[in-house]
Each structure stands twice: as C-alpha cells, then as structure tokens.
C-alpha cells in the first residue's frame, strides 16, 4: 500500500513527520507494508512551480492508496490567478472527497472546556464539495463577485446528489455508533437551499428506521453543543455549518489539536489535521501532532474497510489507543496541554506505545 505524503505549510512538516513515525511503527507491528511518496504543495510548491497545487499532484494522488496532507496557510496565499490555489479544496473537489469526517470527544484524564463536567462523543459529517465556499461551487470562475467596490455577492450551491450521499454516510456511521443523526440547517431563512438539504436527509432517513433522526437550526445547535453535548451522536451538515460546529466541538473537548479528520470519497481518502498551520510556532518543534496522528489512523481504518484488510483497522485502533496512553501521562504532553515535551518526542512516545 502506497501513501502520498504532502507536508504543506506552517507546522505541517513537523506534525506530518511525527505522524509518519507512528504510522511506520504500526506498519511494522501489523505487517502493513506501507511505502511513502513525498511531494510539494503549498508555499514550497508556489516557490518551485508558481502554484500551491499542481494538477499533476492530483493526478498522482488518484494512483495512491491514501493521502496525508499537512496544514495549509491558505489565508496567506496570493489570489488564485496568481497561483494561490486552496490545496484542501483542490483535493476535495478534484478527487470528490465529499465527506469531511470530524470526530470530537472528551477524555477523562484531560481538562476540557465542557460545562459541569459533561462529556462528549460525537462525529460531524460535513459535506465538503459544495455549499457557501466560493472555491468549490462553480465549474469555472468563482462563487463570489464584486459588482462595485461597495457591493459583494456570494453564490451558494446545494444539490440533491451531494446532500443525499453525505446523509447516507451519516446514517451508516450512526448504525455503528449510538444510532442517532441530527441534521443541521437554517431552513427558516434559506428556504430553498437548506430546504433541499433537509428534504434529502429526510428521504435517506426512511431507509434507516433503526436510527433516531432529528433536525436543528444551526444557531440552536451551537447552544445545545455547549449546554447538552450528550444529545448528539452523528451531526450531518453542509460545509459552512459543519466547519463552524467542528471547531466548536473540538475546542470544547479540550483543544483543536485533539481530534483527527479525514476527507473521504468512494475511491480516495485524505488524512488532514483539523487545525490550522500555526505559522507563529512554525519550525519550533512545539506543535501537538495528535490531530495529524489520529487523522492518519482514520485513513488506515478507511483503507482497511475499503480493501477488506483487517490489519489496517487493527493498526488504526492501536494508534488511537497509543495516543490516549501517552496523553494520560501529564509528563508526556505538549505545551498546549500544559506539558513540556516537543513534537518529535511526542511522536516517538506514541510510536513506542504502538510498538507495545
């Protein structure tokens, strides 16, 4: 099995390096036989090739068994016409990685930001190829226009096809968990777009009578996530709402750096940390690589299910368990969690825990 590794910007190379060390440990223990191809995206690619994402990178990604993508500094890229292509969006749209899967859970041995000692264990299923994001809802051109200096307009695209497939993946996941799906919307304002999304989720819900289904306005969802997070199991949302809720959920769990994330489609899957590129600590070897390691674990689990190779699922479980084992020791935490160890050392300790 071949993984395509793209460290990208900011702390991306550092946390990716730690994640690869852990992945290699899992590969040796479970006999995965993983190999790695490295390539440049982001600012390094911009300097070399004049663009942050070359088309040949996407072409090669289609031939690999999985993709590991580091963090990107998209807000600092030049305009798209000057080579500043959104790398994440390029992969999501270019490889049809429509399901951005973002779990969030509290850990009893870590301080969270929950109220009254509450716990949380949920997954946000975020549709990632359309919606209100201007870089992924047009075949050509851009989803935002500025008719004059004092007016800006944005176009939102919601389709039945994309809404129904993210809904189906949400219900399938709920069947493996606590059997509840909550659809997030603002259909009282966006009558047609959120209305169509809701119509599609309701339609899919009929195929899963064992799963409890409810609907919630996005503004109410933020309040309930803080007040009663235990009510959520799988949250199904369009890209804009899912992006907001996943950051909120991760921060409530204790830190944006504590949860993994993958962008998955029918034929490909990309591991990518939930958090940003943190250029202020770039090169200092102090970043927490937990999210990147867990993202790769989710990728291995996806590969195991796709190719019916249980050793990959076992490796993913071992990586997640190793993270918890290391984090449970206060002396083994990075600075963001009150510890003192650096990125590389954290990776070594997790790799050691995986090895057994």
User: Hey, which residues are catalytic here?
Assistant: 133, 186, 219, 243, 247
d(C-alpha 265, C-alpha 94), whole Å: 11
Q: Please report how many Cα atoms fall inside a 13 Å half-sphere around the Cα of residue 56, on the Cβ side.
A: 5
């Amino acid at each position: 099995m071949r993984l395509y590794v793209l460290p990208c910007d900011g702390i991306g190379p550092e946390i990716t390096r730690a994640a690869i060390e852990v992945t290699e440990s899992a590969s040796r223990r479970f006999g995965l036989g993983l190999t790695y191809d490295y390539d440049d995206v982001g600012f390094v690619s911009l300097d070399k090739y004049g663009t942050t994402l070359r088309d040949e990178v996407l072409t090669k990604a289609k031939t690999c068994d999985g993709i590991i993508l580091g963090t990107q500094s998209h807000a600092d890229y030049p305009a798209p016409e000057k080579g500043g292509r959104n790398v994440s969006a390029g992969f999501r749209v270019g490889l049809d990685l429509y399901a951005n899967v973002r779990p969030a859970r509290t850990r009893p041995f870590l301080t969270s930001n929950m109220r009254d000692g509450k716990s949380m264990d949920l997954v946000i299923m975020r549709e990632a190829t359309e919606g209100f994001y201007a870089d992924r809802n047009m075949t050509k051109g851009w989803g935002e226009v500025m008719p004059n200096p004092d007016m800006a307009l944005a176009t939102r695209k919601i389709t039945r096809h994309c809404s129904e497939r993210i809904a189906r993946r949400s219900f399938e996941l709920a069947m493996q968990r606590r059997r509840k799906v909550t659809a997030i919307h603002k259909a009282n304002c966006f009558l047609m777009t959120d209305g169509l999304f809701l119509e599609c989720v309701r339609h899919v819900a009929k195929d899963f009578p064992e799963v409890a289904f409810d609907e919630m306005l996005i503004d109410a969802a933020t309040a309930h996530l803080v007040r009663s997070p235990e009510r959520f199991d799988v949250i199904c949302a369009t890209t804009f709402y899912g992006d907001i809720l996943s950051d909120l959920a991760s921060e409530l769990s204790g830190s944006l750096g504590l949860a993994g994330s993958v962008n998955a489609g029918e034929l490909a899957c990309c591991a990518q940390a939930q958090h940003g590129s943190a250029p202020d600590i770039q090169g200092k070897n102090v970043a927490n690589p937990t999210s990147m390691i867990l993202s790769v674990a989710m990728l291995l689990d996806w590969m195991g299910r796709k190719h019916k190779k249980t050793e990959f699922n076992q490796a993913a479980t071992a990586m997640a368990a190793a993270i918890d084992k290391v984090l449970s020791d206060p002396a083994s935490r990075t600075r963001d969690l009150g510890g003192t160890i650096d990125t590389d050392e954290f990776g070594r300790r997790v790799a050691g825990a995986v090895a057994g």
